[in-house]
Chains A and B, each alone.
Chain A
Amino acid sequence: MTLYDVTLPGEPPVAHMCGGCEEIFHGIFGHGDLQKWYQTVERRDAEALRLYIQQSRAHELHRTACAFRCLPPAVVALSTPDQLRAELRKVQAILPEY
């Protein structure tokens, strides 16, 4: 598929990779997506955060044992390793199951 992606007409979009489990995913994400995530985390509402993670389909993106399986695609795509760790710690403080 990758070979066709490069050789057939139409330039393929940038692929993103989870730094924890190396799963590849595609999507166009912007700072708006990150802001929504930050706002949800800042509310410290466990149910809202759980719902956000579920709706972002984070579990479909990561492997089951990935430490960052709670982080949505936009956060994984647009965060540096340090930011990823920081976001994980924030989630762990609200949702102990992660």
Chain B
Amino acid sequence: MTVETLQQWSAEAVEALSAAKAEPSWMRERRLAAWRCFEELAWPSGTEEEWRRTDLRGLHLEAYAPLPPVPPARQEEVPAVLQPHLALPETALGGLLLQQDGVPLRCELEPELRRQGVVFCPLEAAVQEYPELVAPYFMTQAVPAAMSKFTALHGALWQGGVFLYVPRGVQVALPLRALTVHGRAASLQQAHVLLVADEQAQVTFIEEQLSCAEDLPGLYNGVVEIFTQRGAQVTVLQIQNWSRRLWGFAYQRALLAEDSHLRWAVAGLGSRLHWTSLGVVLRGRGSSSRLFGLTLTDGRQHLDYQTLQDHQAPHTESDLLFKSALLGRSRTVFRGVIWLRPQAQHTNAYQADHSLLLSPHARADSLPILEIEADDVRCKHGSTTGRIDDEQLFYLMSRGLSAQEAQRMIVEGFLETVIAEFPVAGCQERLRQLVAARI
């Protein structure tokens, strides 16, 4: 993995991309600055704590090409393969944004929301139309380009993504949903999600990631940035269901201002390998977050979650629950950091992760890390890794369920307790279907 082998990536390519998109100069400058970071930073060597359990040796970056800067021809039709994904079961939406390979295919928002000043559109469009809303947030505070080699590459060559802005005091009742689709073989997907909920705003945002085919090769290097301003209440639900031949990397951060609340639930189902850094930064007094995660892996899948609950202010609260069910030779890594900074007095932080091994060859690593620098805090973590409980199995079988039915029920139940934390009926239903199809 050396830069020399990546001829399609260069400062010239960055300039060309920005020019092709006719971007304002501030964005071009940010891309170039990110490119300089990329050139200076090194790829993970595997000895870093965050990278020790994810082996990147099988990844050949040169095999993945950036998406064309400008879509070849305007596509109006939604490909047939995506039709079943357009609606969520039994769920009315306030907006839908469908993008394939960085190209918007659908962009809908309730006129009433538009009238209230809600912005929900492709990020490229927002860069042109709402620079005053995008520029202060884009890769400046939550995920700066200099965070890592991956974020630097993203900052230089990102394409596609979502901008969601909810103005002060606006309460968006119906969920807004984005579908991010990987359709081009061996492409580099670098979508960027930027969500800003202004003071006292309320919104639920759903992002589903999928590929057009189960075996479509790809590389995803994404960034998600979430800002909840004072008193905002935000729910973010993400379903990662990429192809089984996609390598994924994601840096996702939420910055919480005073008295704001974030519920963030993620499901990891797809990808060959996916590494995710997922963090909440409680910057404002009285802010709180609840994080939920579920994964279901099989074959040789490898999912790595590096979570961060960073308490920087007093009277903050965070809670995290992750559950992983593992089949085949799959492997999951959960490394969860709770950081209570000296000024974070009167805070509560909780973390629990549970893994259910359904095969003798599956492996789950769990590493809770507590950095406690404040003294008036409550901090708890719990972690379990086990197999199907014999007593549960016997109990269910004693009611007439076959061993197979009983096992299935236990596994579905294990994940259901997290699915129930996705507070949108259609998401729950979708997740149940995806889980049921895999067990």
A and B: bona fide binding partners: no
Which residues of B pack against A, CB within 8 Å? none
Q: Which residues from chain A sit less than 8 Å from chain B, CB to CB?
A: none
